Amino acid sequence: LVEGHVTKYGLPLEHSAQCTVLLKFGSLNASGLYTFVSTIEDVLFKCIAVRNTAPVYKQDEVQIHCYDEYAAYVDKFNILSDQKARVRLFCLAFVSGSPVLEIGLNDRRRQGKVNSVLDDMQN
């Protein structure tokens, strides 16, 4: 998600993430590099975000990009010997006041019993 990225509705992002490259890593050992990346992602995922001031934006915006990934190993006899699939969600949110956002996908606990913005406007 970069500045100027066009959404599926054809509108550019109003906001963009600020990214700074601090380090670049490379390795001739692919499995070691994958392990390193996985470890760093796990640590960063569990970091607690602390903000001293609540931001105020001209326009609140939340975007979620979903990527399905599938990899398989097929040998020379066309036998599938290994496969893995995963879904990755990348979220970019600019919401005034730093509220707690909860995003549910196929949420069995709620089973569709959620108040939406439209429900709030009608009440």
Share of the chain above pLDDT 90, in %: 18
Please list, residue by residue across 16-38, b when 16 or more beta carbons sit within 10 angstroms of its beta carbon and e when fewer do: eeeeeeeeeeeeeeeeeeeeeee
Is pTM beyond 0.75 here?
Answer: no
If one compares 4 and 15, the residue with the highest pLDDT of the two is 15
DSSP state letter for 3: T
**What gap in Å lies between CA 18 and CA 63, rounded to an integer?**
15
**What gap in Å lies between CA 71 and CA 84, rounded to an integer?**
5
Question: pLDDT for 26-78, tens place per residue?
Answer: 889 889 988 998 999 899 888 887 878 888 888 888 888 888 999 999 999 99
DSSP state letter for 111: T
